[in-house]
């Protein structure tokens, strides 16, 4: 899990450092049709982590064969940054916070999130619309892939290469 946390923190740092490379007009405004501003991407990432931090035990984390297969599919989609719709309304950004406030909130959430995910408990804490009920380890995997997805998309959309 330590390696996963290092990866998550490295990706968060990447987003913070790349703010400097984003065109000023795209920090808070969409760079194109069906794209979020840079601030909206960061807000979405913060919302997802905050939602996970507020999760409750949902019972056993058992996956059907289809859900096990979907881990591979979701992993591939996220690794290559293939654009997909947001599966739930509650993680859509509002656009009402500054980047500074978002990065501050993200930094504040992270230690609590890592502590929460480290708990020795195999109960499901995330009900993903495609992956089903995910335990702490699977949730950490999802977060890492989710950040990678937005990193790949941000590099492409905001030309951060």
41 SS3 class: helix
Domain total of the chain = 1
Cβ–Cβ contacts within 10 Å for residue 127, how many?
Answer: 13
What share of the chain in percent tops pLDDT 70? 99
- Range 132-151 average pLDDT: 94
Predicted pLDDT of residue 85: 84
pLDDT score of 137 more than 80 = yes
Instruction: Read off the tokens for 58.
Output: 């949902």
Sole residue written with tokens 């599919």: 73
Arithmetic mean of pLDDT, 38-42: 97
The answer, yes or no, to whether residue 87 has pLDDT greater than 90, is no
Q: What is the pLDDT of residue 45?
A: 97
- Statement: residue 60 has pLDDT above 90: no
Whole-angstrom Cα distance, residue 147 to residue 12? Answer: 8
Alpha helices, H only, 84-134: 99-118
Q: At what angle do helices 38-53 and 2-18 cross, to 10 degrees?
A: 150
* Confidence label for 20 from pLDDT (cuts 50, 70 and 90): very high
pLDDT at residue 120 above 90? no
pLDDT of 161 > 80? The answer is no
CB atoms within 10 A of CB 97: 17
Residue span of the structural domain in which 115 resides: 2-157
| Nearest alpha-carbon partner for 129 in 78, 85, 79, 92 | 85
CATH number at residue 23: 1.20.120.450
**Which residue in the block uniquely carries the two structure tokens 């939602």?**
51
């Amino acid at each position: 899990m330590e390696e996963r946390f290092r990866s998550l923190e490295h990706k968060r740092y990447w987003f913070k450092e790349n703010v400097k490379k984003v065109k000023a007009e795209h920090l808070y405004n969409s760079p194109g049709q069906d794209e979020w501003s840079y601030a909206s991407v960061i807000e979405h990432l913060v919302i997802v982590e905050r939602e996970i931090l507020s999760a409750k035990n949902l019972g056993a984390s058992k996956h059907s064969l289809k859900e096990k297969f979907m881990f591979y599919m979701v992993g591939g989609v996220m690794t290559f940054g293939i654009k997909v719709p947001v599966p739930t309304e509650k993680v859509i950004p509002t656009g009402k916070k500054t980047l500074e406030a978002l990065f501050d909130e993200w930094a504040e959430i992270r230690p609590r999130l890592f502590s929460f995910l480290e708990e020795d408990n195999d109960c499901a804490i995330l009900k993903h619309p495609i992956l089903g009920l995910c335990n702490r380890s699977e949730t950490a995997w999802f977060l890492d892939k989710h950040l990678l997805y937005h990193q790949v998309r941000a590099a492409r959309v905001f030309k951060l290469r």
